[in-house]
Amino acid sequence: MALIEILAFECADNGGKFDTALRSVRLSDYAYYASKMPVKQKGLLKKEVIKRSADICYMCDAAAVGDIVRVPKLKENLLLGGYIRDGRKLVEGVIINKELVASSWRYTVRRLEDGQLQKGNGHMIKEIVARRDAIQ
């Protein structure tokens, strides 16, 4: 398992090239006779590493607190409760809270144009305009 993690981080750093990651990590620390690994086992290792590498890249691309994002403007639905879209335009907002609820992220966004709070999951965020690191 440690070999998969190390290769996945290396693969995420070099742009998804498994063979380059395999050559840059010292395999003898994690597996005996790594040079004599069968093709089938190497293929399964590559599949797991690529999958874990994609997860790492996705987590790096997720929005963080302080990022400026574009979200659809939502208004309260007085008849049924909850929220509905207010037109098709996207508005900019700042993420002020990010919490993990049942293995998915819930975001609280303060819209810049009117200062209203809006809550939703990651699907609500359509685009990241500016990162927190770039703003500071």
H or E element: which one contains 7?
helix 2-13
- The pLDDT of 6-25, averaged and rounded, is 84
Q: Is the domain of 79 the same as that of 130? A: yes
Does pTM surpass 0.85?
no
- Looking at 38, 61, 84, the residue that finishes a domain is 61
Q: In the chain, how many domains are there? A: 2
- In this predicted model, which residue has the larger pLDDT, 71 or 104? 71
Q: Which residues pair with 98 in a beta bridge?
A: 107
Please state whether beta strands 127-130 and 68-76 pair in parallel, antiparallel, or not at all (unpaired).
antiparallel
95 and 37 within one domain: no
Q: Which helix (H) or strand (E) holds 49?
A: helix 39-61
Judged against a pLDDT cut of 80, whether residue 1 lies above it is answered with no
Q: Are residues 77 and 125 in the same domain?
A: yes
Domain around 100: 68-135
Strand partners, 114: none
Output the pLDDT for position 34: 73
More confident: 23 or 107? 107
Instruction: Summarize pLDDT for 59-80 with one digit per residue, the tens.
Output: 666 788 999 999 999 888 888 8
Q: Mind listing the pLDDT tens digit for each residue in 38-64?
A: 889 889 989 999 998 888 777 666 788
Query: What mean pLDDT, rounded, does the chain reach?
Result: 85
DSSP letter, residue 63: -
* 78 in the same domain as 41: no
Instruction: Check whether residue 74 and residue 130 sit in a common domain.
Output: yes
User: Are 51 and 88 members of one domain?
Assistant: no
Write out the two tokens for 126: 């359509």
